[in-house]
Amino acid sequence: MPHDHSDHPHALLPPDPALRVKALETILTRKGLIDPAALDEIIDTYQNKIGPQNGARVVARAWSDPAFKDALLADADPVLAGLGYSGRQGEHMVVVENKPAQHNMVVCTLCSCYPWPLLGIPPAWYKSDAYRARAVREPRAVLADFGVSLPEGTRVRVWDSTAEVRYLVLPMRPKGTEGLTEDQLAILVTRDSMVGTGLPRSPEGKT
């Protein structure tokens, strides 16, 4: 049987992670420290209620409403609070705007800071060693892993989100979207475009 090479207390739990979480949940429930119904509620929230659709609505509105965009870029917190998109892991938000001369990209090299209220739980790649190690040193090679190449003359600015402040990228509005409503625009906004590892979809359905 494999065992932990560790004298940390966690080594007392079963090594298999699914059994490990089950064991911990059972112990804590028996002692009255956690409520399984609260766990279900937390999971339902991040599975069904909070996700990149929130961020996409904010981006679509910023594309449609210059005054909203100005306020968002100047001081995002009150704007997002007004929309109900604040709270845990998004207490202090800064929105950074992509422009032809500058592409923004977000990483957290020390852990996995990410704007939960706007994008939900980060995807596995955002938390991976490869992304955390490489995004700051070779962002263009990382973008190539996502199939993204930038025009000549575009500077890449990588935001290593090592503090309590979380960043959201405001991507550039795709061409050919002039007549679209906010709802139609929101469909074009991908999660990766708001992290800076992707670009929004084009209205023809190409990415």
Partner 1 sequence: MSRVHDMGGRFGDGPVRPDAPNAPVFATEWHARALAVTLACGALGQWNIDTSRHAREQLSPIDYTRFSYYEIWLAALADLLVHKGVLSEDDLAGQGSDAPHPLAEKRLTADAVAGVLAKGGPADREGGPEPLFVEGQAVRTRHPGGNRRVSGGHTRLPTYATGATGRILRLHGTHVLPDSAAHGLGEAPEPLYAVVFPAGELWSHPENPEDEVVLDLWQSYLELV
Q: Are 162 and 108 in contact (CB under 8 A)?
A: yes
Residue among 6, 86, 111, 202 flagged as catalytic: 111
**In the window 52-81, what residues touch partner 1 (CB under 8 A)?**
none
Q: Which stretch binds partner 1 (CB under 8 A): 28-36, 54-62, 63-71, 170-178?
A: 28-36
For the bound state, the minimum distance from the C-beta of residue 173 to partner 1, rounded and expressed in Å, comes to 22
DSSP state of 88: T
Contact status: 99 vs partner 1 (CB under 8 A): no
DSSP state of 57: H
- Active-site residue 112, yes or no? yes
Q: Are 178 and 127 in contact (CB under 8 A)?
A: no
- Active-site residue 6, yes or no? no
Contact status: 23 vs partner 1 (CB under 8 A): yes
For the bound state, the minimum distance from the C-beta of residue 206 to partner 1, rounded and expressed in Å, comes to 14
User: Which lies closer to partner 1 via its Cβ, residue 99 or residue 137?
Assistant: 137
For the bound state, the minimum distance from the C-beta of residue 71 to partner 1, rounded and expressed in Å, comes to 16
Q: Are 178 and 126 in contact (CB under 8 A)?
A: no
Reduced to 3 states (helix: H, G, I; strand: E, B; else coil), residue 7 is coil
In a 10 Å sphere around its CB, with 0-12 CB exposed, 13-18 middle and 19+ buried, how is residue 161 labelled? Answer: buried
Residue among 113, 149, 193, 202 flagged as catalytic: 113
Contact status: 159 vs partner 1 (CB under 8 A): yes
d(CA 92, CA 61): 20
Q: Which stretch binds partner 1 (CB under 8 A): 58-66, 141-149, 175-183?
A: 141-149
Q: Are 156 and 105 in contact (CB under 8 A)?
A: yes
Residue from 28, 71, 83, 172 touching partner 1 (CB under 8 A): that is 28
**In the window 105-134, what residues touch partner 1 (CB under 8 A)?**
107, 109-112, 120-121, 123-125, 127-134
User: Which alpha helices (H) appear in the chain, and where do they start and end?
Assistant: 17-30, 36-44, 52-64, 66-74, 76-83, 116-119, 124-127, 129-134, 139-145, 182-186, 191-195
d(CA 177, CA 25): 49
Residue from 99, 100, 137, 202 touching partner 1 (CB under 8 A): that is 137
- Active-site residue 108, yes or no? yes
Q: Which stretch binds partner 1 (CB under 8 A): 27-35, 58-66, 170-178, 179-187?
A: 27-35
Positions annotated as catalytic residues are 108, 111-113
